[in-house]
Structure 1
Amino acid sequence: MRLLVLGGTRFVGRALVEQAAALGHQVTTFNRGRTGQDVPGVEAVRGDRENAADLLSLVDGREWDWVVDTSGYVPQIVGNSVRLLSSRARAYVFLSTVSVYPGWPAEPVSEDSETYECAPDTPGTAEDEANWTAAQYGAYKAGCERAVQEAFEGQVTILRPGVILGPMENVGRLTWWLTRITRGGRVLAPGDAGKPIQPIDIRDLTAFTLNCLEKGITGTFNLTTPKEHTTFGGLLNACRAVTGSDAELTWVNDEFLVEQKERQWTAIPLWRTPAGTWAVDSAKATAAGLTCRPIEETVRDTYAWLRESGGPLAYDRQAHHGLSPERERELLELWDRR
């Protein structure tokens, strides 16, 4: 099949392109060529989706069976793209986020949960996306979903992943933990080792995306692992095992870290105390064919990629993640005294 990927050079987009090409699909990517490298063997069209002339050049003389949008952040910009592509493809997948739910992470969510109110023609630019607040990011993504649903005349699938981990991760979550545990010594481990977590492997996400296209599956799906798939302790122990590190995990309870006013989700990657953080219902996706590999496989393959590649591509969000060695030592000393 002929597939157009809006994006396609980093993390989710690149993994999708690689998998689609490996399956024999004819792939075209559309991007600015600034943040990653093209996958060999695919047609790469340079352009900025915020530029009307570039969009017109993309669709001139081209048609596809499927479109996957991995780079949509601003509703008005997404809507403009969709209107031009509506007559050029029969199916459209939009990569959204669980952040579209204003109730998340404070409370559990399902696909039926309320989403942010945001008009499908809300203007703006994606240039500052890495610095948006969580609420702005979620609201804009909700507006993008509406833009796709209103403007595309064919089959529409909306995917709302939670945390995505795996090879090529550029946000700095699992990569930070692997790097930290490789150094060894006492490692501050946050909260409860037995706490269930729900990160999804990038390759399971992209496989589900292509499965939806191949089988004509439409609708809206949360994409996380099942609620009992793994734990925070399982993740960190997998990091310790794959690195061969002598790291000693020191589990520090949530109450102490909250008292110390540590930034949740970023200063200690993946640590968050609200009840709904890891309570995303993804049973609908599981019923539609989503399968999730063990966390040990995700950690192993990410570590192998990290060693081979030298690290992720530059991305503004990386600077937001991780404790400094000095702050970690300070917290551990305070914890010991307590």
Structure 2
Amino acid sequence: MAMTILFIGGTGQISYPCVEDAVAQGHKVSIYNRGKRPDALPRGVTAITGDLAGPEYADLAKTRYDVVCQFIAFTPDQVTRDIALFAGQCGQYIFISSASVYQKPARHYVITEETPAINPYWPYSQAKIACEALLTGSAGLPWTIVRPSHTVRTGLPIMMGDSDIMARRMIEGQPTIVAGDGHTPWTLTRSVDLAVPFVRLFGKAAALNDIFHITNDRAHIWDDIQNAIARLLGVEANIVHVPTDTLIRYNPEWSGPLLGDKAWTAIFDNSKIKSVVGDFSCAESLDEILAEPIKYLKQRLAASRPPLGDADTLIDRICAAQSALG
């Protein structure tokens, strides 16, 4: 059944393929954002230009959408505003959270939706947890919370820092860093694969007032991910393994993305989302997973390579110190 769908965001890393799939399924789709992304919208999508903090945002509730998909709210005050605005004004409010909210480190080797949402390391994840708490405690707004894990489309998957700088260093034969011993299993999901079960959540009574993660069933170790990136770039990776604690001493800002996320094993049980939307499949080979990010990377590098800078100086310093240990 065709529904009216509002994407708040709609042109981002995850949301754009979801818009494409929603249109393909016959839904009437509108997007609300600042209109600054270059991607052409699928035919038939209505673009509404505005800012999340702008006064025009309140006008969105005047159209009673069947589903509102909130991709760009990251703080409790933004979700508080949405609850007040859309309560009684939409059939389903889908909030995009993050699988990084899960307990770090998880106490079971497979993460389910029952894994506690406790992340003492990353303010980003803590804000998402607070947003979720507001929704679960709200009344009058039928909500669904979706927790994507590491989802790729335009950016390369790395553990910390700027992925374009990492790729440029690989191409130039310079060392790159992997935290730990490189054998930590990590789950990568293509945005286009996530879009299929995500859109199937629309209008599902069983999805209301519940939480789901959507991820690949297959994980890869970090060394394999980095070696595959190098191979697809036509070079050989020069990986330097550095303990996570050491990296954070060099740069405390890495505490969030490492201790709060990528330093830990991330393997997910997707049986809950499949019980509601049916089975779905995700690309499993790294060549297929990385094909789109590599394409976008090459386009960016052809236009402008990131210059040498402070990030290179820091990486070189860390790699030299670690290599001196033998």
Superposition TM-score tier, normalisation by shorter sequence: 0.7 to 0.9
- State the distance in 1 between where 2:71 and 2:269 align: 20
Pair 40,111 (structure 1): closer, same or farther in 2 beyond 3 Å: closer
| TM-score for the superposition, normalised by structure 2 | 0.76
Asked if 1 retains the 8 angstrom alpha-carbon contact of 2:32 and 2:47, the reply is yes
- State the distance in 2 between where 1:29 and 1:85 align: 16
Asked if 1 retains the 8 angstrom alpha-carbon contact of 2:177 and 2:315, the reply is yes
**What is the identity, as a one-letter code, of the residue corresponding to 2:20?**
E
Task: Give secondary structure in 2 for the equivalent of 1:92.
Answer: strand
- State the distance in 2 between where 1:81 and 1:260 align: 36
1:26 paired residue among 19, 28, 31: 28
> Paired residue for 2:14?
12
Task: Give secondary structure in 1 for the equivalent of 2:16.
Answer: helix
Pair 77,187 (structure 1): closer, same or farther in 2 beyond 3 Å: closer
1:325 paired residue among 307, 312, 323: 312
2:198 paired residue among 209, 224, 239: 209
- State the distance in 2 between where 1:58 and 1:3 align: 12
> Paired residue for 2:104?
104
**Structure 2: any 5+ residue segments left out of the alignment?**
none
**Structure 1: any 5+ residue segments left out of the alignment?**
118-132, 313-317
Task: Give secondary structure in 2 for the equivalent of 1:44.
Answer: strand
- State the distance in 1 between where 2:78 and 2:170 align: 41
> Paired residue for 1:69?
70
**What is the identity, as a one-letter code, of the residue corresponding to 2:228?**
A
Pair 311,50 (structure 1): closer, same or farther in 2 beyond 3 Å: farther
Offset of residue 187 of structure 1? 3.9
Aligned residues: 308
Task: Give secondary structure in 1 for the equivalent of 2:249.
Answer: coil
> Paired residue for 1:278?
265
Task: Give secondary structure in 2 for the equivalent of 1:11.
Answer: coil
Task: Give secondary structure in 2 for the equivalent of 1:24.
Answer: coil
- State the distance in 1 between where 2:123 and 2:26 align: 38
CA RMSD in angstroms, aligned pairs only: 3.9
1:141 aligns with 2:128: yes
> Paired residue for 1:199?
188
Pair 152,89 (structure 1): closer, same or farther in 2 beyond 3 Å: farther
**What is the identity, as a one-letter code, of the residue corresponding to 2:229?**
C
> Paired residue for 1:2?
4
1:222 paired residue among 213, 217, 227: 213
**What is the identity, as a one-letter code, of the residue corresponding to 2:282?**
C
| TM-score for the superposition, normalised by structure 1 | 0.73
Task: Give secondary structure in 2 for the equivalent of 1:261.
Answer: helix
Offset of residue 310 of structure 1? 5.4
1:43 paired residue among 33, 43, 46: 46
Pair 193,265 (structure 1): closer, same or farther in 2 beyond 3 Å: farther
Identity of aligned residues (%): 20
> Paired residue for 2:289?
298
- State the distance in 2 between where 1:147 and 1:68 align: 16
> Paired residue for 1:159?
146
Task: Give secondary structure in 1 for the equivalent of 2:11.
Answer: coil
> Paired residue for 1:58?
60
